[in-house]
């Protein structure tokens, strides 16, 4: 299990948790994401957490604590947020079980759904639509 943002302040620790901290190099970031069973997102305040979109776009399940931003992002692919106590239980699971617990579907179905929801094309269309409807 990996935590990327705010690693210095992450409430999660354990033998199976890697706190990466802030990563600005996209190649290093995507390489790390591709190796994860899941991404733990513990930020309570974030305008729009791009790291969640990046993880979801490549089929990495996200386990997030409650925040409006995380709820908005995860809802697009059928996911939900959890309390810190629930997160501590979820980080013990393997990737397929995380997908089932967070997104209520198989890993394959979750990956397909989130890759579509967070593809570059889909995000561009939503961005353009937002500004056209102002």
- The confidence band for 31, taking pLDDT boundaries of 50, 70 and 90, is confident
Domain ranges of the chain: 2-132
| Alpha carbons 89 and 106: distance in angstroms, whole number | 19
Quote the distance between the C-alpha of residue 48 and its chain's center.
12
Least confident of 1-15, 17-31, 63-77, 86-100: 1-15
| Alpha carbons 83 and 71: distance in angstroms, whole number | 12
- The confidence band for 4, taking pLDDT boundaries of 50, 70 and 90, is very low
Q: Which pLDDT belongs to residue 3?
A: 46
Query: Taking Cα atoms as reference points, which of 78, 87, 77 lies closest to residue 44?
Result: 87
Query: Taking Cα atoms as reference points, which of 36, 80, 66, 42 lies closest to residue 54?
Result: 36
- Phi and psi based region of residue 47 (left: phi greater than 0; alpha: psi -120 to 50; beta: remaining): alpha
Q: Taking residues 91-111, what's their average pLDDT? A: 95
Q: Which pLDDT belongs to residue 42?
A: 84
CATH entry 1.25.10 includes domain 2-132 = no
**Sheet with 2-3, edge to edge strand ranges:** 18-19, 2-3, 39-41, 62-64
Specify the pTM: 0.79
Span 34-80, pLDDT tens digits:
888 999 888 877 767 888 999 999 999 999 999 999 999 999 999 99
């Amino acid at each position: 299990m990996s935590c990327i943002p705010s690693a210095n302040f992450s409430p999660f620790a354990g033998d199976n948790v890697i706190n990466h901290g802030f990563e600005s190099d996209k190649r290093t970031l995507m390489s790390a994401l591709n190796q994860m069973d899941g991404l733990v997102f513990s930020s309570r305040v974030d305008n729009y957490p791009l790291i969640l979109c990046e993880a979801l776009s490549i089929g990495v399940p996200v386990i997030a604590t409650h925040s409006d931003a995380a709820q908005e992002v995860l809802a697009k692919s059928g996911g939900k947020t959890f309390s810190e106590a629930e997160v501590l239980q979820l980080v013990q699971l393997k990737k397929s079980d995380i997908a089932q617990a967070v997104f209520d579907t198989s890993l394959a179905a979750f990956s397909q759904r989130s890759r579509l929801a967070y593809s570059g094309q889909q995000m561009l269309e939503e961005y353009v639509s937002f500004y056209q409807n102002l």
